[in-house]
Structure 1
Amino acid sequence: MRVIAGKAKRILLRTVEGLETRPTTDRIKETLFNMVNNRLADCDFLDLFSGSGAIGIEALSRGANSAVFVENNKNAMECIRHNLNVTKLADKGQLLLMDAVSAIRALEVQGKVFDIIFMDPPYNHLYEQQVLNALKNSGIVYCDTLIVVEASKETDFDYLKESPFQITKEKVYKTNKHIFIEPAQLGKGIL
Structure 2
Amino acid sequence: MRVIAGDFKGRKLNSLSGDNTRPTSDKIKGSIFNMIGPYFEDEVVLDLFSGSGNLAIEAVSRGCEKAYCFDNHFKAISIIKENIGLTKKSEAFTVKKMDADKALDWLKGEGIRFDLVFLDPPYAKQVIEKQVEKMLSLGLLNEFAKVVCETDKQVELPERILNLEQIKVQDYGTTKVTIYKLLEGVGLDES
Quick one: structure 1 residues 147 and 161, their matched pair in 2 at CA, closer, same or farther if it must change by over 3 Å?
closer
Aligned counterpart, 1:74: 74
8 Å contact from structure 1 (residues 143, 187) kept in 2: no
Count of aligned positions: 189
* Cα RMSD, aligned residues only: 1.6
User: Counterpart amino acid of 1:190?
Assistant: L
Kept in 2, the 8 Å contact 1:57–1:89? The answer is: no
Higher strand fraction (1 or 2): 2
Unaligned runs of 5+ in 1: none
The answer for the alignment partner of 1:99 in structure 2 is: 99
Structure-2 residue corresponding to 1:133: 133
String of CA shifts for 1:20-40, please: whole Å, max 9, x gaps: 110111111111111111562
- Following superposition of structure 1 onto structure 2, how do residues 1-191 of structure 1 map, counting pairs within 5 Å? 1-37=1-37, 40-158=40-158, 161=160, 163-184=162-183, 186-191=184-189
CA deviations 1:43-71 (Å, max 9, x no partner) are: 10111100000000000111100000011
CA distance in 1, matches of 2:87, 2:161: 41
Q: 1:82 to 1:15 in 2, by over 3 A?
A: same
Gaps of 5+ in 2: none
The answer to whether the 8 A contact 2:21-2:51 is kept is yes
In the TM superposition, residue 167 of structure 1 has moved relative to its aligned partner by 0.9
Write the distance in 2 (CA, Å) between the matches of 1:133 and 1:189: 14
DSSP 3-state at the match of 1:105: helix
Secondary structure of residue in 2 paired with 1:136: helix
d(CA) in 1 for partners of 2:185, 2:65: 23
Off by >4 Å, runs of 4+ in structure 1: none
Identity across the alignment (%): 34
TM-score, normalised relative to structure 1:
0.92
TM, length-normalised to structure 2: 0.92
